[in-house]
């Protein structure tokens, strides 16, 4: 079944902060900004913290919720995991919360949003050239293929298995490089 993203999820923009965010070591809320998204789509540690009096509870992110980078060089969807502190996003992001009435897994939707086809749709409809800006209307009108839950679960498991495989291969490559460097170094010092 094909559905528009706005039929599946509630979509909101992040918070616009009027001033530069300064880290408040006593702050109870962490702010996710563009620079906080790692290449592996995880959220970095050491987020800027702010006081809770600045933020309304409706802006707090929930585990399983997705965030999508709406400005910059590429769109990337990240899933919010459990965190020790409450988190919010800056205006560079959209928050995507799957409606309770929909049978869509967050991991599946994250995978779908990160597909090259979705990226191409976003790019072709965004404004700007090198630093694009994705209008909410474009995001809302993305056609999303929604297969039955067992199919979504298989896709999510395949994606997780592939990511684990990539991590394992990267670790093996690092160890292989270190080993070869050591062997070559020993050869260099031989008489």
Structural tokens at position 97: 């919360």
Domain 2-146: which topology?
Adenine-n6-DNA-methyltransferase TaqI; Chain A, domain 2 (3.90.220)
pLDDT above 70 covers a percentage of the chain that reads: 97
Domain ranges of the chain: 2-146, 147-191
Q: Each residue of 49-73: pLDDT tens digit? A: 888 777 888 889 998 899 998 887 7
The answer, yes or no, to whether residue 111 has pLDDT greater than 90, is yes
Residues sharing a CB contact under 8 Å with residue 81, sequence separation 6 or more, in sequence order: 43, 63
Helix, strand or coil, per DSSP, at residue 67: strand
The alpha carbon of residue 37 and the mean position of all alpha carbons in its chain are separated, in whole angstroms, by 7
Handedness of CA 26, 31, 36, 38 (dihedral sign): positive
Which stretch, 6-15, 51-60, 179-188, has highest mean pLDDT?
6-15
What pLDDT does residue 35 have? 87
Q: What is the 3-state secondary structure (H, E, C) of 29-54?
A: EEEECHHHECCCCCECCCCEEECHHH
**Is the separation of the CB atoms in 126 and 135 below 8 Å?**
yes
Q: Each residue of 130-169: pLDDT tens digit? A: 778 888 999 999 999 999 999 999 999 999 899 889 889 9
CA distance 178 to 190: 19
């Amino acid at each position: 079944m094909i559905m528009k993203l706005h039929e599946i999820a509630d979509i909101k923009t992040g918070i616009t902060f009027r001033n530069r965010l300064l880290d408040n070591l006593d702050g109870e809320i962490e702010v996710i900004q563009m620079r906080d998204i790692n290449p592996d789509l995880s959220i970095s540690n050491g987020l800027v913290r702010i006081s809770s009096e600045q933020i309304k509870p409706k802006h707090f992110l929930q585990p399983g919720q997705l965030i999508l980078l709406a400005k910059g060089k590429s769109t990337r969807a990240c899933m919010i995991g459990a965190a020790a502190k409450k988190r919010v996003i800056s205006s560079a992001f959209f928050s995507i919360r799957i409606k309770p009435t929909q049978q869509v897994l967050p991991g599946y939707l994250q995978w779908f949003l990160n597909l090259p086809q979705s990226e191409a749709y976003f790019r072709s409809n965004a404004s700007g050239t090198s630093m694009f800006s994705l209008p909410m209307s474009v995001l809302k009108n993305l056609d999303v293929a929604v297969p039955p839950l067992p199919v979504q679960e298989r896709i999510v498991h395949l994606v997780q298995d592939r990511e684990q495989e990539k991590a394992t291969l990267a670790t093996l490559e690092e160890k292989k490089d270190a080993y070869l460097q050591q062997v070559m170094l020993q050869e260099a010092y031989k008489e």
